[in-house]
Amino acid sequence: MKNIGFMQGRLSPLINNKIQAFPFDYWLDEFPIAKKLNLSCMEWTLDYPNLEKNPLLLDEYKSDIIHISKRNDIKIPSITLDCCMQRPFWKKQNLIFYDDLILDLRKIISSASTIGAGILVIPLVDNGSIENKFEFNLLKDTITSLYDFLELKKVKIAFESDFSPVNLSDFIKVYNKKFVGINYDTGNSACLGFDPVEEFRNYGERIINVHIKDRKINGGTVRLGAGDTKFKEVFNYFNFSDYAGNYIMQTARSKNNNHIEELNINISFIESYIA
């Protein structure tokens, strides 16, 4: 299915009861399963703890990643950096680790380039939410200082945020669209009570990646169609816009641990909306 993919780990058992975590014991198994589900891509996941042990960041595994991706025809066009949300380099409490965190970020950019992943999603939500001018400026100064490196490696940053539509429009204008865009998360927007029409009017042309999930207003993630996401309005926009990116399922986990069937249900839901 063109442009429909999944967040790495969604086809694996839960790890420490987390909705999302890198599946160290199962990551190889997800590729053939995704192929059977007729998916086209996977968004890789980088998180703590054990970031340094993630296969993506180990030279001896990169050729294996490329090989299994090609063998199963599952591309890896994007990587979600939960590690940046867990230890935000733009927060004052992490300044003592700033140099190490930026070194990690540069390693991630290089590794992404090696496997052909052109988008890095940096979540500015929850623990990574921008709360003051200091954080805004440090984030801006850091990312803009990486423009040349991003261009060399042919990688873009996609910010996912909790900003209102108007504020996100103002925020993203600070960044060169050649290097920085927006990751639009359907569930997070619904949780915050945002109107998709207003969102797309303000920053639609800057969206370069989409996370598909459903949430109740001020609530958690639920099966697609069971929450408050306005999927009709969302897909009306994407179906008739110039968006040519991917739809990555970051959906709710199965309550009975049947995660493959849960993802299959969500695939059918998305297919009913894509033109």
The domain tally of the chain equals 1
The verdict on whether omega for the bond into residue 123 sits within 30 degrees of 0, i.e. cis, is no
> Are the C-beta atoms of residues 203 and 158 closer than 8 Å to each other?
no
Q: Which domain does 28 fall in, by range?
A: 4-271
- Mean pLDDT score of the chain, rounded to an integer? 96
Distance from chain centroid for Cα 224: 17
DSSP letters spanning 5-43: EEETTTTS--BTTBSS---TTTHHHHHHHHHHTT--EEE
Residue partners of 167: CB distance under 8 A and separation at least 6: none
pLDDT beyond 80 at 2:
no
Nearest to 158 by CA among 79, 212, 89: 79
Q: What is the pLDDT of residue 13?
A: 93
Strands 247-249 and 4-7: parallel
What are 96-144's pLDDT values in tens digits?
999 999 999 999 999 999 999 999 999 999 999 999 999 999 999 999 9
* Mean predicted confidence (pLDDT) in 47-63: 96
What are 206-247's pLDDT values in tens digits?
999 999 999 999 999 999 999 999 999 999 999 999 999 999
The CATH number of the domain where 112 resides is what?
Answer: 3.20.20.150
Three state DSSP letters for 43-75: EEEECCCCHHHCHHHCHHHHHHHHHHHHHHCCE
* One-letter identity of residue 8: Q
> Are the C-beta atoms of residues 4 and 208 closer than 8 Å to each other?
no
